[in-house]
Structure 1
């Protein structure tokens, strides 16, 4: 099992460009697995973890409801935002500046073949990271992602998640609000869940801005421990 993970920080990158890049990496891993099976080979499959910040964009998962986007295309354009229907699970999500979007493109045959465990591990990476900032983040039953003040009238989501998997290869991932403009969440019903608020790390800490690079390092540290992975950092252009 190959537990080396190639980590690439793409900086600020268009959503569609990054989605296409994810699909390329995803396909390359699946192609290797198919080749191994057909030709009875034991070629190692690669693993990737991409970090990126997207310009303002809304994405709707396969099971999503368009009614959860509360504005039309003209209003989106006026806000400088784009919209895509995509092939992950989940409903509607917003990505934008000040948010760390993590895309693990892993062959789970290298780790464990359990999607439920995989999602819980992704949540735990974020929970442990937020704990370092003195925040008690947790899961909300039946609602994927990471939340604060679960079970109270003040419950609010700080990290959304949605993944796709085929032949135990993953793509898409999580979006952690660090210095996010929360006004953009007012244009949708986040993840299709009515009556729940959204928050950002800087808001919770009462800071104008949190050092996003430090947050990234904490995420990598906890990911490495939970997945027993070793990172190889690459600064490759998409």
Structure 2
């Protein structure tokens, strides 16, 4: 079992380019697994973790409803945003500057074969990271992601999640609002959930800007601890 994870920070990168790159890494792992099964070999599978920041983009998951996008094609162009229907779970979400996006592309057979546990671990990474900023966050029953003040009229989402898994290989991941422009969420019904607000680390802390590199370091630390992994 290979618990080493190749960490790559892609910086600012177009959504489609990043998606294609994810697919390439994902296919590489799946191909090794198919070959291993076919030839009864034990070639080690790699794991990857990508950090990235996207230009303004809306993405709709497999089970999503296009009516949750509240913009026409022209309005998208006017806002400098793009739109993609993609192959992850979940409904619609927004990615953009000031948001930390993490894409773990893991062979879960190197860790544990439980998708439910995998999603809960991703949430826990963010919950532990936010706790370092004295922010209490939690899960919302039946709604993937990380929330604040669940069960109150002030419930708001700070981190969205959506993954794809095949042959125990994962792709896509989480998007944590750090310094994001939350106005872009007004153009969608986030995750298809009406009447729920979104927030960011910057808003919750009441500061001008949060150090994103510091947040990434905390995410890395908690990810390694929970998955008993090592970033390389």
**Do Structure 1 and Structure 2 share a fold, with TM-score over 0.5?**
yes
Residue by residue over 1:93-136, the C-alpha shift from the partner in whole angstroms, topping out at 9 and shown as x without a partner, is: 10000000000000000000000000000000000000000000
CA distance in 1, matches of 2:214, 2:186: 28
1:87 equivalent in structure 2: 87
- The reply to whether residue 226 of structure 1 matches residue 226 of structure 2 is yes
- The reply to whether residue 186 of structure 1 matches residue 186 of structure 2 is yes
- The reply to whether residue 46 of structure 1 matches residue 46 of structure 2 is yes
1:125 equivalent in structure 2: 125
User: C-alpha root-mean-square deviation of aligned residues, in Å?
Assistant: 0.3
- The reply to whether residue 151 of structure 1 matches residue 151 of structure 2 is yes
Residue by residue over 1:170-200, the C-alpha shift from the partner in whole angstroms, topping out at 9 and shown as x without a partner, is: 0000000000000000000000000000000
Q: Which runs of 4+ in 1 moved over 2 A?
A: none
CA distance in 1, matches of 2:137, 2:6: 28
- The reply to whether residue 96 of structure 1 matches residue 126 of structure 2 is no
Residue by residue over 1:33-55, the C-alpha shift from the partner in whole angstroms, topping out at 9 and shown as x without a partner, is: 00000001100000000000000
CA distance in 2, matches of 1:143, 1:165: 18
* 1:30 counterpart SS class: helix
* 2:8 counterpart SS class: strand
CA distance in 1, matches of 2:44, 2:51: 23
1:138 equivalent in structure 2: 138
- The reply to whether residue 112 of structure 1 matches residue 112 of structure 2 is yes
2:168 equivalent in structure 1: 168
Q: Unaligned stretches of 5+ in structure 1?
A: 233-238
1:72 equivalent in structure 2: 72
CA distance in 2, matches of 1:33, 1:137: 37
* 2:88 counterpart SS class: coil
Q: CA deviation at 1:208?
A: 1.0
1:24 equivalent in structure 2: 24
CA distance in 2, matches of 1:81, 1:209: 23
CA distance in 1, matches of 2:227, 2:90: 23
Q: CA deviation at 1:82?
A: 0.1
CA distance in 2, matches of 1:165, 1:207: 37
CA distance in 1, matches of 2:105, 2:207: 32
